[in-house]
Chains A and B, each alone.
Chain A
Amino acid sequence: MYAYDAYDHALVKSRVAEFRDQVERRVKGELTEEEFRPLRLMNGLYLQLHAYMLRVAVPYGTMSADQMRRLAHVARKYDKGYGHFTTRQNIQYNWPKLSETPDILDELAEVEMHAIQTSGNCIRNVTTDQFAGATADEVADPRPYAELLRQWSTFHPEFSFLPRKFKFAITGAATDRAAVKWHDIGLIVKKNDAGEIGFEVLVGGGMGRTPVIGKTIREFLPEADFLSYQEAILRVYNEHGRRDNKYKARIKILVEAMGVEEFQRQVEEEWQRIKHIPIDVPAEEIARINAFFTPPPLPVLDDNVPSVDDLARKNFVFASWLKNNTNPHKVPGHVNVTISLKPHGGIPGDATDAQMDLVAALADEYSQSEIRVSHEQNLILPHVAKKDLAAIWTDLDEAGLGTANVGLLTDMIACPGLDYCALANARSIPIAQAITKRFDDMKRLQDIGPLKVKMSGCINSCGHHHAGHIGILGVDRKGEESYQLLLGGSGAEDASKAAILGPGFNEHDIVDALEKVVAVYLGEREEGEEFLATYRRVGQQVFKEAVYDAA
């Protein structure tokens, strides 16, 4: 893991001190809310429906056990004993007091965490593959480059007031678990024939009210040019992105308006102009950062572990957990364990302080003290020996963290929705709870197979409904919550936009409608065919007929 140097420490500490002063001035009335609002937002502090909300960055979703313990401590001491892990791989606290946020940030700074740039029209936390550096299917660990982006973009004076927020995602694996095509800039780490590292660069992806899938503007950007090229993209966007209309201010709108070829040409031109400025870091610096991400020295172990197989034969839930919640590791005899934060009937992404402490303890004992957060709102123990799986699952299960549903229908993404969020038009969490209760039967879930359901409580799409195999969008229809069903989206390497099926449903009928969609799939699927493949093969109409004709 990256460890702060003296410069990082000083930067974060001075930022907390500055914010402490701003809070004090606000409380004394020396700053009006209008003056203070952009300052608090730059420090991740929102005012939501019931209270303030503090969004803490988990840079590229990687944290240590000590950091997780500190997050638990913050939940306990300053909040109400829980936190919410988000689709941006961050954590949100729902009840902090304004006057205590500087103390929270001081406590976080001690463990090299902060809330800088988790809001505002700046470059936000860079997200990546939750299995980065630990998965068998990756070209290279993307996190050193995510860290480079973090350092480059933190307090970047030119990019602190962009037309709108700006999100990077980077993956080092061919299987895209980071939804890179749905980001303002998406990066795919590649190797050329000479074995050199480079990046495919996509721009203009995004969700919100205008969903757009990113377009490739460079097939292979050499590692040495990594930052200067990003800088060129940001410069073109900063100059030409619209500032007159916040709904048209994201880079996706600019790329569409300009045309991708013209955008690419301007980036290229700008890049040639600024390339000579020493923006790119020297190879030694890349090597220095890379060294922080050296894989842990895991012993090669036997992939066959009889004790684990025995338990799997006896216990169907454990067998399902083994199948769904573990992912192949680079080192034989090891796996990545995904801890589901989607208990059936529970709140997607929420974890209590005690659960966070348990995950930290398990990470210390079994996973090199490392933890990841996924954009699908789960936690990951990335370096687990297979022989330890039964012990880990037993501990998790006792703490309500043993749900064996990763990648299945009930592993739903859901935004906080109208239960917490000031932007929401409808509640998300109760719908997720109703759906996960309806599909509580593990055998049935397993039979349905991989299926990504993603739900947002408003058009801003924090719940990624555009990228759901099944998406649900909550809207306000004449003062009543109404839920639209969307089908056929994907956030993976085969990215696609989900299409609205038809008129919306009330909060009860949406669950029935979803169940009908699943029934059509089960009736139509060919041997071994997953939901998305069936949908793409048979098309929308058959689903539409089943959902609306029978209604």
Chain B
Amino acid sequence: MAKKLKGPQMILANYLDDGRVVFFTEAGGWSASPTEAAYAEEDAADALLAEANKSTASNLIVGAELIGATITDGKPFPSHMKHVMQAKGPSVRLDLGYQVSTDWEAR
């Protein structure tokens, strides 16, 4: 069992088909842009995960997990470097990943 996170959290997952990283949004969808993600704390975060996992059940995404978020001007961004990497793409290939644009396709 992963350690319970404290503070604001958001949900990161991978699309089942191409594996690209997406974040669960306020509207109940998924976005490559972390700043569009929904965030919550404590029990509300668990409720958010339960909501997000409906997409797991419908085979849209895999591995939905709560991750720590830093909130700037009301918008969340992953706080751990691993999730920052996932949000942007490889730091050694700036031509690849969501750092290029959020329209960026996995291929």
Chain A residues within 8 Å of B, Cβ to Cβ: 26-29, 33, 47-52, 78-80, 95, 97-99, 347, 418-420, 424, 427, 429-430, 433, 476, 479-481
Contact = CB atoms under 8 A, between A and B. Distances in A.
Contacts, number: 80
B34 interface: no
B92 A429 contact: yes
Contact of A95 (B56, B62, B86, B106): B106
Nearest to B92: A429
Contacts of B48: none
Contact of B82 (A51, A347, A418): A418
A52 B19 contact: yes
Contacts of B93: 347, 419
B97 A50 contact: yes
Interface stretch (B10-18, B23-31, B38-46): B10-18
Nearest to A97: B18
Looking at A48, A80, A95, A480, the one whose CB has the most chain B CB atoms below 10 A away is A95
Interface string B85-103: 1100111110011000000
Contacts of B59: 26-29
Interface residues of B, number: 27
A33 B18 contact: no
18 contacts: A26-B16, A27-B59, A33-B16, A33-B56, A47-B62, A49-B21, A49-B82, A49-B85, A50-B86, A51-B14, A95-B96, A97-B18, A97-B106, A98-B17, A427-B91, A429-B92, A430-B92, A476-B81
B92 A433 contact: yes
A80 B18 CA distance: 13
B102 to A, nearest CB: 14
B80 interface: yes
Nearest to B20: A51
B81 A479 contact: yes
Given A80-B107, A97-B107, A476-B81, 14 more contacts: A27-B16, A27-B59, A47-B62, A50-B89, A50-B90, A51-B18, A95-B107, A98-B18, A99-B17, A347-B93, A418-B81, A419-B92, A429-B92, A433-B92
Contact of B91 (A48, A79, A430): A430
A170 B17 CA distance: 38
B76 to A, nearest CB: 17
Contacts of B72: none
B63 to A, nearest CB: 7
A29 B58 CA distance: 7
Given A33-B63, A80-B107, A51 B19 contact: yes
